[in-house]
Amino acid sequence: MKGVLASLLIVLMVSTTGECLVCQQCANYTGSDCSSYTSQTCDKTVTQCVSLLMVQKLENKTLYQTWKSCADDPLMCYSTYNMSSGVYIYSKAECCEGDLCNSEPIQLNETSTEDNGVECPVCHAKSACCTSEPGETMKCQGPQTQCVIFIGKVYNGTHFNKWTHHGCITESACQYQITAYPASLIDPGYILTCLQPKH
């Protein structure tokens, strides 16, 4: 009888495990894809895998950061946005269904660089605040139709740096906010405020 119960328990465990989605899991804070990764078994409630790519451009430097995992928070799938304030940040999220469906590299789409008629106060600083000079604005480009004030910390691969941005951002970030670390590079205590743009 004990043998039958043990066999039944093993079958139950295997069938239960088989119902869970398996996703590729990795984090690369210095590149656009992952050279090493593990397989992550998701919680039963998770139905999608996610891949995220963030690109930061400052002067002549371009930094790529990539991570993949189970989409534990559905909002992770909406982390596609771009923001500019002298520092340019592009973030793209792709979600998919099926075991290890997020194994392919994520590609960043071309973003329009044409002025869209929106202007926003501008400043950026590697600190907890910055001040826009009166009348100092930047012309927003492409899908960046909202003005933003971002105050928070951004992970650089080893620690969090304080940043403040006043500039332009896509409306999607205002609607969904930005998922916090470890699902992105943004520390959970950030403040993102969208403002009425100038036309």
Give me the domains of the chain, ranges plus CATH numbers.
21-195 (2.10.60.10)
Using one digit for the tens of pLDDT, what is the confidence trace for 35-63? 888 999 999 999 999 999 988 887 788 88
Q: Is 157 left (phi over 0), alpha (psi -120 to 50) or beta?
A: left
Alpha-carbon distance of 77 to 15, in angstroms, equals 28
- Whole-angstrom distance, CA of residue 81 vs CA of residue 87: 14
Pairing of the two strands 22-28 and 61-70: antiparallel
Q: Are 56 and 186 in contact (CB under 8 A)?
A: no
User: Looking at residue 11, what is its pLDDT?
Assistant: 39
| Chain segment 2-12, per-residue pLDDT in tens | 444 444 333 34
Q: What is the pLDDT of residues 105-140, one digit of tens each?
A: 988 877 778 899 999 999 989 898 888 777 789 999
